[in-house]
Amino acid sequence: MTEKAHAKVNIFLKITGTRGNYHLIASRFVTLPDLYDTLRFLPKEKPDPHFILKGKFGCQTEQNSIYKVYRLLSEYTGNKKIEDFFHHHEVVVTKQIPEFAGLGGGSSDAAAFLRLCNRILSLKIATETLAQIGAQIGADVPFFIYRYPSANVSGIGEIVTPFEEEIPKLKTFTPPVQCNTAAVYRQFRQNISGQRLTENENLAKTLLQQKSSEILQTYEPETLNDLYPAALALYPKLKTYAAKDRFFSGSGSTFFTTGEA
């Protein structure tokens, strides 16, 4: 009873508008095949009604994406066998994906939990429905539910379209800086204008059609990720690690390069 939860990077991330407190995005998500957390469901020593989650997390269980999606799944199905199963089993996560790093670790863990429950408990929930459940706790979760190697992601993250391409070999580097996603988005929003959003939308239309390798050869890191300048403003230490050939994933703090760089 094991499931891998892979990390991702954003080849580009353009903010094209807002929807209430949410941001509309146009992005290319690419799965990292060699960087993943591992989820396991293991028998408890004795039955216990508490949901037990073990792993090196920077938050309490109640704030963890896995616990949140467990509650949502239980509520959606109304199926008592889910709660009964976790009376007898605990969730153990071997963490490899850095937290607060723009790699989607929490969202990927949540998606892996949903997939594993669906398989082990024979819930027979459609993939699209799992994505809708996951989207309620994180905008990146639908991408990880679908498990596409490469995809264009839009809306607030709920629209995921597979993109056929040969993905370039990527190397990641996560400096000792933890970026708060909500804070980075707030910083971005303070300095955005309607004209800039229109420009972003126009560029996004081009980027969504281009292959990732072409994009990384053509554009500067600051052009590709709208959150990069905001993260630099909030976390000046990031400038120590910035370079022309280092691209920035999500809200950070991870940088990535192509294999040739």
List strands edge to edge, sheet with 247-248: 170-173, 255-258, 247-248
Per-residue model confidence (pLDDT) at position 261: 45
Instruction: Give the integer Cα–Cα distance in Å for 104 and 10.
Output: 10
Return the amino acid letter for 200: N
Return the amino acid letter for 243: A
226 is catalytic: no
Q: What is the DSSP letter of 99?
A: S
Per-residue model confidence (pLDDT) at position 21: 78
Find tokens 């990069």 and name the residue: 228
- Pairing between β-strand 2-19 and β-strand 170-173 as defined by DSSP bridges: unpaired
Return the amino acid letter for 29: F
Closest CA to 30 of 203, 127, 126, 171: 171
Per-residue model confidence (pLDDT) at position 159: 95
Of 37, 68, 109, 140, the catalytic one is: 140
Q: What is the pLDDT of residues 52-105, one digit of tens each?
A: 999 999 889 999 999 999 999 999 999 889 999 999 999 999 999 999 999 999
Closest CA to 3 of 42, 50, 37: 37
Of 8, 14, 68, 109, the catalytic one is: 8
140 is catalytic: yes
Prior bond of 253 cis (ω within 30°)? yes
Identify the three-state secondary structure at position 192: coil
Question: Torsion-angle region of residue 184: left (phi > 0), alpha (psi -120 to 50) or beta?
Answer: alpha
Q: What is the pLDDT of residues 9-28, one digit of tens each?
A: 999 999 998 877 788 999 99
Given a cut of 50, the residues of the chain with pLDDT beneath it are 261
Instruction: Give the integer Cα–Cα distance in Å for 211 and 198.
Output: 22
The pTM score is 0.94
Phi, psi at 60, each rounded to 5° = -75, 160
| Angle 135-211-24 from CA coordinates, rounded to 5° | 30
